[in-house]
Copies of this chain bind each other. A is one copy, B any other.
């Protein structure tokens, strides 16, 4: 490397390496690709980044991403505002929307409780959720945080806060993923699938 010191190239590789899921080899590949881009395509790329970064903000109601006052889901009058599905990140909204059969609204926490990484309740949009529940008529809150330690802890924390208000609180079901092989399922998932079994 010592000899190969083209500073702007190294700096660019360094920037790409910071991105999630991009290792040294991919970063190098992306950097070389960007250098080869024609000027207009490069401008287009820079512009897309700038515009998205400047224009996209949080929806005033659900804290999901939007470029308007409200996100497309909160704007939609066909949605059932009485069921709020609480997720960690905007990409979880996207994942749930892909089911095409879920018409509740969302609340995006923008993370999960993680004391080790310094994420406490104040770093999440829990306060906004409470304000919202007090203002609107909410029948049910579905905790759809990830099935990880942090997601689990967040679900527990939020549900404890909401219990006194007296709304129904539910959690996504655990079980074996559809299309998967029992053989490869881990013990905990299998145990949860057994616990959650239902009559046929």
Contact = CB atoms under 8 A, between A and B. Distances in A.
Give the dominant DSSP class at A's interface: helix
A49 interface: yes
A24 to B, nearest CB: 11
How many of these chains are in the complex? 2
Given A21-B26, A91-B28, A34 B53 contact: yes
Contacts of A156: none
Interface in A26-60: 26, 28-35, 37, 39, 42, 44-46, 48-53, 55-56
B97 A4 contact: yes
A97 B6 CA distance: 14
A8 B65 CA distance: 11
Contact of A53 (B15, B22, B37, B97): B37
Interface of A: 1, 3-9, 11-12, 14-15, 19-22, 26, 28-35, 37, 39, 42, 44-46, 48-53, 55-56, 65-67, 71-73, 76, 89-91, 93-94, 97
